[in-house]
Amino acid sequence: MIKFYKPTKIKNSSLLTISKDGEKNQWIYLPVFKSIKKLNTKERSKSFMGSDFSYIDIAGRELDDDKHKMLKIDKKYYYIRSTPIDKKDAYSKMELIIDKKKFVALKIIFYDKKGKQLKTLDNKEFKKVKGSYFAVLSVMKNLKHGGSTKLEVSEITVVKM
């Protein structure tokens, strides 16, 4: 679950994502309306709270959502192209730079349906929790309109289902 503290206009809003048996479900709580809403598939590709992230960017992707191809390997990194299996996906492909030691995505380039670069995600800081690394400082740059959004994670809880 993600809870927001800033900016003030979305303070205490929450996003809950549950992945089970390859299916991802998301619910959003908006305190201004005092209501919980389940997000449908189309809504998950839209801008998350007016940011440069989409709801699906925040929730992350399952390994089986995409076909993966190793593009290159060097001393520190794996370079991978991931192509969504679902043709209705918001992206045509993603190119990732993966740190070999921590096995985390340092950078992801997202491509639109026409194959043009749409946005880039730079994960700048990580925290190790229960043996796995999680991004705690990320910047998403929108290459279409030039904006960017910084996401800082203050707390991580890992729950096994």
Q: What is the pLDDT of residues 28-85, one digit of tens each?
A: 898 888 889 888 777 778 888 888 999 888 878 888 889 999 999 999 999 999 999 9
| In the chain, % of residues over pLDDT 90 | 50
Q: Domain 2-152 falls in which CATH fold?
A: outer membrane lipoprotein receptor (LolB), chain A (2.50.20)
Contact 30, 11 (CB under 8 A): no
**For the chain, what are the domain ranges?**
2-152
Q: What is the pTM of this model?
A: 0.86
- What is the strand order of the sheet 77-84 is part of? 66-73, 77-84, 93-99, 104-111, 117-129, 132-142, 148-152
